[in-house]
Amino acid sequence: MTKHLQDAIGQTPIVELTRLDLPERVRLFAKLEYLNPGGSIKDRIVRYIIDDAEQRGALRAGGTIVENTSGNTGAAIAMLAATRGYRAILTMPDKVSREKQDTLRALGAEIIVCPTAASPGSPDHYVDTARRLHAERPGSFMLNQYDNPLNAEAHFRTTGPEIWRVLKNQIAAFVAAGSTGGTISGTGRYLRSQKSEIRTVLVDPIGSIYHSYFHRGVVDPSMIGTYHVEGIGEDHLAECMDFSALTDVIQVEDGDAFATCRDLARKEGLLCGGSSGANVWGCLQVAKTLRAPATIVTVLPDSGVKYMSKIYNDDWLIANGFGEPTTPGLISRCPSVGSLQSKRV
């Protein structure tokens, strides 16, 4: 029996996706990380880092946690802060969905919204804002998720082993997007320690620097741009991202990620966020390169409930240049009351 909320973190189910367009004898499995109690894969790293901080005395009773987040890490922090009596101050870019912002406030966190377009190193950038707030509050604790090696270690010790116990030697590839790099680095490193032939493929949105850095070894400022998928890609190199754990990096467009989200909902019954769509889209690309039989595994980091005003909102998609949604089965608008005709039975 689970005694504490944090004990429900991890051991999420793995399901096979069977209705997507995969090559013959290539199987695709997804770990449902949105079933963690805080609603995302970030519960794992937040618990791991906070536990370590408490053990070292870096975080004391009644203390304040300051962190930059795209929403999911913030939700995990707010959740655990509420159960352990901490104050949470969270910074985030303004592209973060309203649902995520409202969730953090509901959990008692203070949030500071920063412009997405702010460049790294500027005082308005959400990472630099968090660092400044941390420095201004003696005794506060910052997870520093982008550069903290415990981020990847949490996945090396939990996510990777959980996947391996279920799928073992049949795994040919692990595919995942990343921002801090913790998931792909830690999980990929563990899986490759069990079977070195496993491919670990990072899915990177256009506008992020990871693709060009992996393939050309340089950070090209001209490649940095804005994109709509939340929680993946980056405009600076996160120290947590271990490029030696990767075998390839491929690029994804917003529209492909969002279209795949809708496919997951209508074909697999899985309502997921944009990073999940990017991950599964990446799996479908990698599947074309594998020699069958082969098995691919990925993670679905968070739920689509957090993006109903964006990914699953037709008006938002059209307004942001993604065209008319083609997903069948969408609810049509009801006619006015006056236009309805009653029928006798």
SS3 98: helix
Fill in the amino acid letter for 28: L
Assign residue 165 a region: left if phi > 0, alpha if psi is -120 to 50, beta otherwise? alpha
User: Residue 96 corresponds to which tokens in the numbers above?
Assistant: 């973060």
Q: Is 42 a catalytic residue?
A: yes
Angle between helices 98-106 and 72-84 (to 10 degrees): 10
Separation of alpha carbons 174 and 299, rounded Å: 9
User: Which of 79, 81, 76 is CA-nearest to residue 65?
Assistant: 81
User: Residue 166 corresponds to which tokens in the numbers above?
Assistant: 């279920």
Catalytic residue, candidates 31, 42, 100, 310? 42
Q: Which residues contact 298 (CB under 8 A, 6 or more apart)?
A: 28, 29, 30, 31, 174, 175, 176, 279, 280, 282, 283
Separation of alpha carbons 312 and 305, rounded Å: 9
* Strands 26-32 vs 14-17: parallel, antiparallel or unpaired: antiparallel
Q: Which residues contact 252 (CB under 8 A, 6 or more apart)?
A: 177, 203, 204, 205, 206, 229, 278, 281, 282
DSSP assigned state of 265: I
Active-site residue numbers?
A: 42
